[in-house]
Amino acid sequence: MSNRSFAFQLGMAIVIGLPLLTTGCVKRQLDKMNEREGSVYDEYDGDKYEEDLVTVKADEVEDQGDSVAPATLQAIQDTISNVYERDFGRCLQQDMDAYENRWMAGNFSVEFTINTEGKVIAASVLEMDIKERKSAKGQKEMREAKIFPSCVEESVYKWEFDPPPEVQYTHTYTGKVGEAF
């Protein structure tokens, strides 16, 4: 018998025999567990853990309001990523032109509210760290973007979403602009 044939037969014996051995082991372990006295299940007499249970009546819960379907939320995010993200770059471009410096970049967060018709009815830049990442010649301090926040808010007011959210919805978008990190 060749080594290859022997190895194949040994492998087959292991593959076929191993499940048979383990099922026997598992059965013996389960039998031992069932024989043990004082298991949690045996100790439970119906009301022993009653004080640990927390129950709430429906009329005691505050109405959580309506919600937006997950598919609609995904559609909103996809629309921002595929259609509206270019607005952020356009707004950064205005600051780069004003400072005559291409080395501007940073992070920002904008919050906006979408009504049930899919139109943005409120928008504001929450946080912004967009500034020059490389100073212009003769300049000592890095300047922050000045045009970007108002430009983003103005752009976001023009956005529309289809499908619209089922209820008025406030979305927060966090992103990066610029390539000079």
With bands split at pLDDT 50, 70 and 90, how would you rate the model's confidence at 134? confident
pLDDT at residue number 154: 97
Report which of 102, 104, 175 is spatially closest to residue 146, judged by C-alpha positions. 104
Residue 53 has pLDDT above 90, yes or no: no
Whole-structure pTM value: 0.62
Element holding 111 (H helix, E strand): strand 104-114
Pairing of strands 169-177, 120-132: unpaired
pLDDT at residue number 141: 87
Mean pLDDT of 172-179: 93
DSSP string, 11-23: HHHHHHHHHHHHH
Pair 155, 126: CB distance under 8 Å: no
pLDDT at residue number 95: 95
pLDDT at residue number 87: 96
With bands split at pLDDT 50, 70 and 90, how would you rate the model's confidence at 59? low
